[in-house]
Structures are given as C-alpha cells and as structure tokens.
C-alpha cells in the first residue's frame, strides 16, 4: 500500500487503535519520533482506580482448580479409621473380624418325615344321634341358664323401681300403723314448665284443708254462743273429714297425673271436679244458716249477739272468698296450659276406653258377669 502524497506543512496524524478493555483509541507508534508514545497517550493508557479491581488479563486461561484439594475432602481421606475393620466380600470369611463378636450357633435342621395319613373312622348312626342329643342338651342348659339370669335381672329391676317409687305421701312417722298411700315428687315427675302451677295447686289444697279446720272452730264458737248452732257444728266436722281427702283425690291427683303423663282424660276430670269445687267454695263463703259453713250471712247475724264470734266467722268467710277467687285464677292457668299441650276430648275418650279395656279389675268383673250369665242360662235350660 502506497502512501498518498500530502501537501507540505501538513502534520502527520498517527492511526489510533481501539483498546478492547477500556474502549479507548490508542495511537500507533508509527509516525512518532523515537518510537515512544506521546505523553497524552501514556496518560490515556494508565489504568484508572476503578479498573484496578478487575483482572489485568481477562483473556488469560483460568487457574485450574482441583476439587479433590477441598479441605473437607482431604480431612476425611487423611484421617485414620482405626476402629473400622476392612471388609472384603470376596474372601471366604465374609464378616467383620471382631474377636469380641459372639456368633449364634445354627441349630441343625432335623430331616423332614413323610406325612402319615390316619385311617378315617366312619361314625355309626347311633353315635351321630348320641352326639346330636348331647349338643341339644348342652344348648338347652345354656338357654335355661340365660333365662334364669334374665329373670333374676328383671326381678332386681322391679325391686329397684319399687324402692325408688315407694309411696311417700302423706309423710307419716315410721311407728304409725298407717303407711303412705301416694308417691309425690315434683322434680322427678312433673316437667319444669308445669312444676310451678302444680305446686300452687298443691298449696291451694293445703289452704283448703286449713280453711275447713278454721270453719270447724268457728262453728264450734257459734254453737257455744248460740245453742241452736249444733247442726252447723256437726256438718262442719263432716265437711272437714270428707272434703279434705276428697279434694286431694278428686281434683289434685288428676291434675298431678295430667302434668306427669300429659293425659287428656285427667285434664277433663280435673276441669269438671274443680269447677264443682269452686261452686262449693262460693256457697261456703256465702254462709247459708244450717249448712255448716261460717260465711258472711252467719257472721253478720252474730254481730249483734256476740261480736267476738262474729269476727272469727268473718275471718273464715274471708278465707272462703279468697279461695274462690284464687281457684278461678288457677283454673284459667291450667286451661291455658291444657291448650298448649295439644290435648283434646277425642284423646280423652281414647284414653278412657283403653284404660277400661286394659284394667285388670274391669276385665275380671266383666269375665265374672259373663260367667254368671252363662251359668244362669244353662241352669234355666
């Protein structure tokens, strides 16, 4: 390649070479006097502080790294394993040569014997029948034993029920020859929604009995003050001994059973009898002379004759009046509870018919009547 002639006085500019590291142009030595780079060129080629951290020759081959020179590998390979014995699986004695190791002796296997077939013995029909009979007898004994066990458990349950539901009312002392006739337990028999009403009816019956006792005393005072009051005193004794147990049996026990078993029949029995009881309370509070009731009429007639007796009779008349009003309130409450239980007259009829048909006394009476009728018919013929 020939140099192109340049005009005189024109300075020769040396060619520049681009450095692959710094991406800068490096002037060539050609055309520079003395073959040395210019001072600016040297300054350009001097490495900067930022490049000092890089490798001086990025195109040089990397240093060979031996992975087996790692300290963790060399530590394991150089450590002596004195406690481990070498194991060679190809030698005759292929086990660890440990003198302290104990070997378990192998028991010699006995030679197997050929199976010997036992000759089958055919059972005779007699032996089969005897075996079957023995099996039946064993089963019968087992059934008898189970039946006896069931009877014993049933009897125990009956005894437990009898002891649990032993009659506890009226609460009489143990030395009394008369024993309790009824069982009463509000917490065990009556649902929680009906316990309050049932207890109030029980307290009403107690107030009823106490009022009859006061009526007896008032009639006694009237008889003392007026000799013509003997009939009233005698009737007051009769009402006390008659109405006290009858009220408990006729209207209190039916409502107790109605709340306990949700019985429509007992509800209807209570409504009918208790309504009659309220009518009797009203009559007793009026106090008709000669009926044995210390009511308002008899109390007012005694004001002029004997004031103290009149006051006693007025107190009794007030009790009869209060009981009448309170009984009407309780009748309304029981009726509201009865409507919520879903009881009806049809259910009451069904319960009555089932109770009559399943009652043993009624069945015995019907059977006796039928037998007597049949015997009379045969004798007539």
pLDDT at 127 over 80: no
Whether 29 has a pLDDT exceeding 60, the answer reads no
- Of 259, 116, 266, residue with least CA distance to 195: 259
| Average confidence (pLDDT) over 121-131 | 75
- Number of domains forming the structure of the chain: 1
Distances in Å between the Cα of 95 and the Cα atoms of 80, 85, 89, 101 are 21, 10, 8, 10
Residue-wise pLDDT tens digits, 152-192: 888 777 665 555 678 888 888 888 888 888 999 998 889 88
Confidence band, pLDDT 50/70/90 cuts, at residue 341: confident
> pLDDT band at 38, cuts 50/70/90?
very low
- HSE value, Cβ hemisphere, 13 Å, CA-based, for 356: 7
pLDDT band of residue 1 (cuts 50, 70, 90) is very low
Residues 52-74, mean pLDDT to the nearest whole number: 59
Distance CA 241, CA 234 (A): 11
- pLDDT value of residue 66: 64
Mean pLDDT of all residues belonging to the chain: 76
pTM of structure: 0.54
- Tell whether 206 is covered by a domain: yes
Contact criterion met (CB below 8 Å) for 238 and 292: yes
- Residue 77 lies inside a defined structural domain of this protein: no
Q: What is the DSSP letter of 3?
A: P
pLDDT confidence bin for 31, thresholds 50/70/90: very low
Query: What is the rounded distance in angstroms from the CA atom of residue 139 to the CA atom of residue 133?
Result: 10
Which is nearest to 324 in space by CA: 269, 286, 268? 286
Taking residues 110-133, what's their average pLDDT? Answer: 68
57 vs 373: which has the higher pLDDT: 373
Say which range, 86-100, 165-179, 230-244, 275-289, has the weakest mean pLDDT.
Answer: 86-100
- Give the residue, 178 or 376, on which the prediction is more confident: 178
CB 183 within 8 A of CB 166: yes
Residue 301 lies in a domain: yes
- Give how far the C-alpha of residue 293 lies from the chain's centroid of Cα atoms, to the nearest Å: 55
Q: Which residues neighbour 343 within 8 Å (Cβ) at sequence distance 6 or greater?
A: 262, 263, 264, 267
* Domain limits for position 221: 197-359
| Number of continuous H segments (helices) and E segments (strands) in the chain | 12, 2
Q: Say how far residue 9 (Cα) sits from the centre of its chain.
A: 120
Asked whether residue 295 is assigned to any structural domain, the reply reads yes
Residue 67 inside a domain? The answer is no
Q: 345 and 267 in contact (C-beta within 8 Å)? A: no
pLDDT digit string (tens) for 213-226?
999 999 999 999 98
- 32 within some domain: no
Whether the CA torsion 197, 202, 205, 207 is positive or negative: it is: negative
- Which of these, 249, 173, 161, lies nearest to 205 by C-alpha position? 249
Q: Is the pLDDT of residue 17 over 70?
A: no
How far lies 98's CA from each of 85, 89, 91, 264, in Å?
8, 15, 16, 96
* pLDDT above 70 for 206: yes
CA distance 173 to 265: 34
Positive or negative torsion for Cα 313, 315, 317, 320: negative
pLDDT, residue 34, reads 45
- Spatial distance between the Cα atoms of 16 and 32, rounded to a whole number of angstroms: 12
Q: Is residue 81 pLDDT above 90, yes or no? A: no
Assign 122 a pLDDT band (cuts: 50, 70, 90): low
What pLDDT score was predicted for residue 332?
94
Predicted confidence band at 312 (pLDDT cuts at 50, 70, 90)? very high
Is the per-residue pLDDT at 231 higher than 60? yes
* Higher-pLDDT residue of 310, 22: 310
Tokens 């005393």 appear where? 217
Residue 94 pLDDT level (bands cut at 50, 70, 90): very low
User: What local confidence, expressed as pLDDT, does residue 2 receive?
Assistant: 47
Output 288 or 73, whichever has higher pLDDT: 288
Q: What is the pLDDT of residue 33?
A: 47
- Residue 95 inside a domain? The answer is no
The answer to whether residue 124 is domain-embedded is no
Q: Which phi-psi region, left, alpha or beta, contains residue 57 (left: φ > 0; alpha: ψ -120 to 50)? A: beta
What band does 150 get if pLDDT is binned at 50, 70 and 90?
confident
How far, in Å, CA of 114 to CA of 63, rounded?
78
Task: Give me the sign of the Cα torsion angle 309, 313, 314, 316.
Answer: positive
pLDDT tens digits, 258-290: 999 888 888 989 999 999 999 999 999 999 999
Within 8 A by CB and 6+ apart from 2, the residues are none
- Of 207, 199, 201, the closest CA to residue 318 belongs to 207
pLDDT at 173: 84
Residue 3 tokens read as: 């140099």
């Amino acid at each position: 390649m020939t140099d192109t002639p340049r005009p005189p006085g024109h300075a020769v500019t040396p060619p520049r070479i681009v450095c692959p590291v710094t991406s800068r142009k490096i002037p060539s030595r050609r055309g520079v006097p003395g073959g040395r780079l210019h001072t600016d060129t040297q300054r350009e080629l001097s490495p900067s502080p930022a490049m000092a951290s890089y490798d001086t020759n990025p195109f040089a081959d990397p240093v060979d790294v031996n992975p087996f020179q790692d300290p963790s590998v060399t530590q394991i390979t150089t450590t002596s394993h004195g406690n481990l014995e070498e194991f060679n699986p190809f030698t005759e004695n292929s086990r660890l040569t440990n003198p302290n190791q104990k070997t378990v002796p192998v028991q010699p296997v006995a030679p197997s014997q050929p199976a010997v077939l036992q000759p089958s013995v055919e059972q005779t029909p007699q032996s089969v029948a005897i075996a079957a009979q023995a099996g039946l007898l064993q089963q019968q004994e087992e059934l008898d034993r189970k039946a006896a066990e069931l009877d014993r458990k049933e009897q125990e349950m009956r005894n437990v029920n009898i002891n649990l539901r032993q009659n506890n009312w009226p609460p009489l002392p143990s030395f009394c020859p008369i024993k309790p006739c009824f069982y009463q337990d509000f917490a065990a028999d009556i649902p929680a929604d009906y316990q309050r009403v049932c207890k109030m009816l029980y307290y009403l019956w107690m107030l009823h009995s106490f009022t009859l006792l006061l009526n007896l005393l008032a009639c006694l005072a009237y008889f003392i003050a007026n000799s013509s009051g003997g009939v009233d005193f005698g009737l007051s004794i009769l009402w006390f001994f008659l109405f006290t147990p009858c009220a408990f049996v006729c209207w209190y026990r039916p409502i107790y059973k109605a709340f306990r078993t949700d019985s429509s029949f007992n509800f209807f029995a209570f409504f009918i009898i208790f309504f009659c009881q309220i009518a009797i309370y009203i009559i007793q509070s009026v106090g008709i002379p000669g009926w044995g009731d210390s009511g308002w009429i008899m109390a007012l007639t005694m004001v002029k004759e004997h004031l103290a007796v009149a006051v006693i009779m007025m107190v009794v008349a007030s009790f009869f009046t209060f009981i009448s009003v309170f009984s009407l309130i309780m009748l309304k409450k029981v009726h509201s509870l009865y409507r919520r239980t879903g009881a009806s007259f049809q259910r009451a009829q069904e319960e009555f018919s089932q109770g009559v048909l399943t009652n043993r006394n009624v069945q015995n009476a019907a059977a006796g009547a039928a037998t007597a009728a049949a015997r009379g018919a045969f004798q007539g013929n």
